[in-house]
Chains A and B, each alone.
Chain A
Amino acid sequence: MPRKHDDRRTFLKSVGAAATTVGLAGCAGLGGGPERDTFLLGAVTSLSGDLRFGGGVTQRGYDMWADTINREQGGIEIGGDTYEVEVEYADAQSNPSAGADAASQMINAGADALLGPYSSNVTLSVCPIAEQNSMPHITGSAESPQIWQEGYQYSFGTIPTVSIIGNEATSALLNLEPQPESVYVTGVNEPFSEATAVSMRTAAEDAGVTVENYELFPRDTDYTNVVSAAQNADPDLHLHGGHIGSHVDLVSAASQLGYSPDGFLMHYGVNTGSYKDGAGAQAPYTFGATVWIPSVDRSGGVLFDSPQAYADAAEAAYGSAPDYTQAGSTAAGIVYQEALKELNAAPPLSQDDKDELIGILEEIEVNTFYGDVTFEVGGEYHHNNINTQTLLIQLGEDGSPTIVGPEDAATGEPNYPVPAWDER
């Protein structure tokens, strides 16, 4: 009869050998988790909390890509076989730490790659997790320049940083006639909005326009105070960086106090239903910054024939017009699709496959309904797609947006200076 400690020794040796084999296989890039016949994309986005509107928009964008490629092409073709795309979501709860947990959850679930969250705050916490786990990550909706300044190797973004969007939209607005001589810049005190406000201020300073004031304040402030201070400075234009709720509060307070500069420029989301529903009668004539609207003149390309075709498909699927965040999120999926085709590796992806995918993404050029996507390599915008052209839009009386700048992209004339509140 064998002695008890011999049994234990044999058992420990077996376990050790098995663990070593698995560990070495992992280090050597052998295998990528359990066998699957689908590409598993882990999507981190805010399905609850303050950012759930944007989180939902992002989700729609990712789903539009996955549903369309699965339905129309049977998935992604690899070596003659097609593999469907499966997008699994984890809720970031509008909270950076929950976003980091959600990213870890998706990585542990064996995702081949990550689709990123809505909002810069959450993205800034997901990028380090992707980096630590060497996990490819493309976000379709984050604009803070801080994300790209960190130089992460595994994170990419399809929407240009707001340093560029805010700056270019402001420059286009400052070129309208009569040219403004002064601006008042405000923003909400959080990374995306601050970066937006800074980009607007920089554009004004570069154009030689007087910046009467630059101020950041909390999201839940009473905007009559912001407006009173601005009204006292009497600027030609008011530039504001924030999310939709703060835009609504600002124009509401402006209308109550009769504060009527020649125009308000807001970023982000003046062409969304959320802004129009919230601002109501105050919404028309607002200027906004975007990189995509359905009427923009861009060629189609992979998966959708044109911006309008994408908008129609989104409208049919969800009953509402898509904005540039939704389009950018769909474009993120399309970029993955083209990169995975080039990688030519069946799911699940090994670590070597994922590392190779990063190299492919750095060199990729994809022509989409959203615009041409390529990623910067090196510099302050490392891995950000900064090629998509910024558009200055203005809402008409019926709430529909018209591209009014820059000149080469404009599809209509601006209503500028905008009428005073009591003349509308």
Chain B
Amino acid sequence: MVDIGLFTQIVINGLLLGGIYVTIGVGFSLAFGVLEVVDFAVGEYVMVGAFMGAVLAPLFGAEGVFVIPIVLVVFFAVGALIQPLIHHVTTGDRPHPLLMGLVFTFGLATFLRGGVLTVFGPNSQDVPSSLLTGGIAVPGLGTFPVVRTVTAVFGVSGLVVFMYYLYRTRGGMAIRAIAEDRTNARLMGININRYQSIAYGAYAALTGSAGVFIGMTFNASPGMGLQYTAFAFFMVVLAGMGYLPGVIIAGIVLGLTQSFTAVYISGNAVLLVLFAIIYVVLLVSPAGILGKGEWAT
């Protein structure tokens, strides 16, 4: 017989875990939609963000959350500087531009991971926070871990802000025009390089900040990136390539599937179930679970 208390707690765990994944999926989906870059470095941005939290938090009274504005600015600047390099290798006369983008970001990921290992060594680091500790127990429902709840709110808020920017501002319209047809956008007088840098910078800023939250939720570890790269891929495929609203659905499906499979089937079956879902979605609806993204071809 299903224990209702455990069941509701698993739902809470799954939703909040999904919220954490949304923070990564939003930026990743944006980068793919606008720049058509499948970014292998996404997980390493998370990892570097977490390490920035571990290093900077002690300077702010051991509060990881106070580090977020700095990480946002730093990662935006770094992303805006990196984007022209990506643009350079994915355009022009080079054959296989998608592959060039993959190779470039794979190299970037390797460089970031190696750099952190060299500087910090292999140990995990705690990202301290006394503001976001413990959980809020709701009678009859379950416990909401504060840090996970705040992370999920951050992720969904990030999505809402991006959606607003994309659909309610001139800059957003320019980015959507670039995503629609880069050549025509240029003919309309849109400064493509500028808006692509803004989009990639925003993606890097959101992903790096997500890293600080993830560091507070778990910890900062040099090897953590690969897992988040895999989950980001999972999310954009499930959401529909480049389709931002689908990210929330994908995050919830990912989180709930993990939670229910781990408790009611086996922790060892989680990846099997997740890949089975991806397989079925790709077979039945290659444009994502809502059928509104680009086809995964």
- Distance of A215 Cα from B269 Cα, bound (Å): 13
Q: A280-B128, A421-B134 are in contact. Are A53 and B267 (CB under 8 A)?
A: no
- Distance of A241 Cα from B175 Cα, bound (Å): 50
- Distance of A229 Cα from B7 Cα, bound (Å): 10
- Distance of A189 Cα from B17 Cα, bound (Å): 22
Residues of chain B lying within 8 A (CB to CB) of residue A202? none
Residues of chain B lying within 8 A (CB to CB) of residue A321? none
Q: Are A221 and B134 in contact (CB under 8 A)?
A: no
Q: Give the Cβ gap from B217 to chain A, nearest Cβ, in Å.
A: 7
Q: Are A278 and B124 in contact (CB under 8 A)?
A: yes
Q: Are A278 and B126 in contact (CB under 8 A)?
A: yes
Residue on B with the closest CB to A253?
Answer: B145
Q: Give the Cβ gap from B283 to chain A, nearest Cβ, in Å.
A: 26
Q: How large is the interface on A (under 10, 10 to 19, 20 to 34, 35 or more residues)?
A: 35 or more
Q: Are B126 and A279 in contact (CB under 8 A)?
A: yes
Residues of chain A lying within 8 A (CB to CB) of residue B134? 255-256, 258, 421-422
- Distance of A255 Cα from B132 Cα, bound (Å): 11
Residue B297, interface by CB 8 Å: no
- Distance of A221 Cα from B137 Cα, bound (Å): 23
Residues of chain B lying within 8 A (CB to CB) of residue A52? 122
Q: A50-B223, A252-B219, A258-B143 are in contact. Are A225 and B258 (CB under 8 A)?
A: yes
Q: Give the Cβ gap from A272 to chain B, nearest Cβ, in Å.
A: 9
- Distance of A273 Cα from B128 Cα, bound (Å): 16
Contact flags A30-70 to B (C-beta < 8 A → 1, else 0): 00000000000000000000101100100000000000000
Most buried by B among A56, A222, A229, A277: A222
Q: Are B268 and A216 in contact (CB under 8 A)?
A: yes
- Distance of A53 Cα from B266 Cα, bound (Å): 29
Contact flags B192-228 to A (C-beta < 8 A → 1, else 0): 0000000000000000000000000111010100010
Q: A255-B134, A422-B134 are in contact. Are A224 and B145 (CB under 8 A)?
A: yes
Q: Give the Cβ gap from B93 to chain A, nearest Cβ, in Å.
A: 38
Residues of chain B lying within 8 A (CB to CB) of residue A220? 227
Q: A217-B268, A218-B267 are in contact. Are A232 and B5 (CB under 8 A)?
A: yes
Residue A249, interface by CB 8 Å: yes
Residues of chain B lying within 8 A (CB to CB) of residue A273? 123
User: Which residues 87-125 in B have Cβ within 8 Å of A in the complex?
Assistant: 121-125
Contact flags A216-250 to B (C-beta < 8 A → 1, else 0): 11101110111011011000000000001100110
Residue A274, interface by CB 8 Å: yes
Residue A281, interface by CB 8 Å: yes
Q: Are B17 and A278 in contact (CB under 8 A)?
A: no
Q: Are B259 and A225 in contact (CB under 8 A)?
A: yes
Q: Are A248 and B263 in contact (CB under 8 A)?
A: no
Q: Are A56 and B124 in contact (CB under 8 A)?
A: no
Q: Are A248 and B219 in contact (CB under 8 A)?
A: yes
Q: Are A221 and B270 in contact (CB under 8 A)?
A: yes
Q: Are B126 and A216 in contact (CB under 8 A)?
A: no
- Distance of A56 Cα from B123 Cα, bound (Å): 11
A interface residue numbers (CB < 8 A to B): 50, 52-53, 56, 189, 215-218, 220-222, 224-226, 228-229, 231-232, 244-245, 248-249, 252-253, 255-258, 273-274, 277-281, 421-422
**Besides A189-B268, A255-B133, 15 new A-B residue pairs in contact (Cβ under 8 A), listed by A number:** A216-B267, A217-B267, A218-B271, A221-B258, A224-B148, A225-B13, A225-B267, A228-B6, A229-B6, A232-B6, A255-B134, A256-B148, A256-B217, A278-B126, A279-B219
Closest 9 pairs (CB-CB, A-B): A217-B267, A280-B126, A256-B145, A278-B124, A225-B262, A224-B13, A232-B6, A53-B122, A274-B123
